[in-house]
């Protein structure tokens, strides 16, 4: 589904990603862990199409398409979804209204008619339940006045509404208490299927108790330095990132 080869990216002339390689297949969950400043958020931003970053080398293929050639909105339309680490507040734009526009623009891209109002409402209700999002929050302005946990839950709610093929969860666990974490993770697990894939970016192992990855990658200094089964996350948690630094001889 996703194939990243030798990806180099920089911001303001400073190289952050220094040759990332990653293969993700449909039905898989990949975790990317790494210390602060290792390039985790840069990777998610580059995949989503943030224009501040310049890709200097390498390629990203998503379902046979050159992802880097696509505009951010077209990436979304192809089925890439980024759950933001810091979702922005957009006063005056209702969550529901914006999701309806997004959904219909995605449908138009696929040559489909706009969704019937009735079907939209059914989906809205169903997905709200999935992430236990209060109906009032769903109809309010996007993230305005939401708590940290509510914002993260709203990201997963949007993911549920848009039904992407590849979801990238950028530190979705940060700032979440254990109850909120369980709800968010529960929502993600319910959305998982053999046809979609999820990349979980996190600093801590905690989230991976709830969203169990097939593969764990360790990103360090702009490169994936180690990949392994889910136990790798536990080892990392136990030994700390220093053990990686020692292993790669930094």
Determine the length of the chain.
Answer: 250
Identify whether the C-beta of residue 195 lies closer than 8 Å to the C-beta of residue 28: no
Q: How far apart are CA 34 and CA 244, in angstroms?
A: 9
Residue 99 near another protein by CB under 8 A: yes
Q: Segment contacting another protein (CB under 8 A): 104-112, 116-124, 173-181, 240-248?
A: 104-112
What are φ and ψ of residue 147, in 5° steps?
-75, 165
Q: Does 50 bind another protein (CB under 8 A)?
A: yes
Does 72 participate in binding another protein (rule CB under 8 A)? yes
Q: 55 Cβ partners below 8 Å, 6+ apart?
A: 7, 8, 9, 46, 68
CB 208 within 8 A of CB 216: yes
Tokens linked to 59: 């390629």
Contacting residue, 71, 112, 121, 122, with another protein by CB under 8 A: 71
Choose which of 29, 31, 32, 48 interacts with another protein (CB under 8 A): 48
Other Cβ atoms within 10 Å of 53 Cβ, number:
18
CB of 93 to another protein, least distance (A): 5
| CA 246 to the chain's CA centroid | 29
84, 146, 157, 220: which one binds another protein (CB under 8 A): 84
Complex with another protein: residue 140 or 223, whichever CB lies closer: 140
76 binds another protein (CB under 8 A): yes
Name which position in 60, 106, 130, 133 contacts another protein (CB under 8 A).
106
Nearer to another protein, 191 or 224 (CB): 191
Which window, 28-36, 92-100, 177-185, 208-216, contacts another protein (CB under 8 A)? Answer: 92-100
Under the binding rule (CB under 8 A), the answer on residue 77 touching another protein is: yes
110 by Cβ neighbours in 10 Å (0-12 / 13-18 / 19+) ranks as: exposed
Cβ–Cβ < 8 Å for 30, 22 = yes
Residue 231 CB, nearest distance to another protein (Å)? 33
87 binds another protein (CB under 8 A): yes
Q: Does 109 bind another protein (CB under 8 A)?
A: yes
Q: Is 250 in the site for another protein (CB under 8 A)?
A: no
Write the CA distances from 105 to 63, 109, 201, 202, integer angstroms: 20, 6, 28, 31
Q: Which residues form the interface with another protein (CB under 8 A)? A: 48-51, 71-73, 75-77, 81-82, 84, 87-88, 90-93, 98-99, 101-103, 105-106, 109, 141-142, 158, 162
């Amino acid at each position: 589904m996703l194939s990243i080869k030798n990806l180099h990216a920089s911001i303001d002339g400073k190289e952050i990603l220094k040759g990332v390689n990653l293969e993700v297949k449909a039905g898989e969950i990949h975790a990317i862990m790494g210390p602060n400043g290792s390039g985790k958020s840069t990777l998610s931003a580059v995949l989503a199409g943030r224009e501040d970053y310049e890709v200097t080398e390498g390629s990203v293929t998503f379902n046979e398409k050159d992802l880097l050639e696509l505009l951010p909105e077209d990436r979304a339309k192809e089925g890439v979804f980024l759950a933001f680490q810091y979702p922005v507040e957009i006063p005056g734009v209702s969550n529901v209204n914006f999701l309806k526009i997004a959904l219909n623009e995605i449908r138009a891209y696929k040559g489909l008619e706009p969704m019937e109002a009735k079907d939209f409402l059914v989906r809205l209700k169903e997905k709200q339940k999935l992430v236990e999002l209060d109906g009032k929050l769903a109809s309010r302005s996007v993230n305005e006045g939401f708590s940290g946990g509510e914002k993260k839950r709203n990201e997963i709610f949007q993911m549920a509404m848009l039904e992407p093929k590849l979801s990238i969860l950028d530190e979705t666990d940060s700032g979440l208490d254990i109850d909120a974490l369980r709800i968010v993770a529960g929502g993600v697990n319910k959305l998982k299927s053999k046809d979609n894939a999820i990349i979980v970016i996190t600093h801590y192992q905690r989230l991976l108790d709830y969203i169990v990855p097939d593969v764990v990658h360790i990103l360090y200094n702009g490169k994936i330095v180690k990949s392994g089964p889910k136990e790798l996350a536990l080892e990392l948690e136990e030994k700390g990132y220093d053990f990686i630094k020692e292993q790669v001889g930094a």
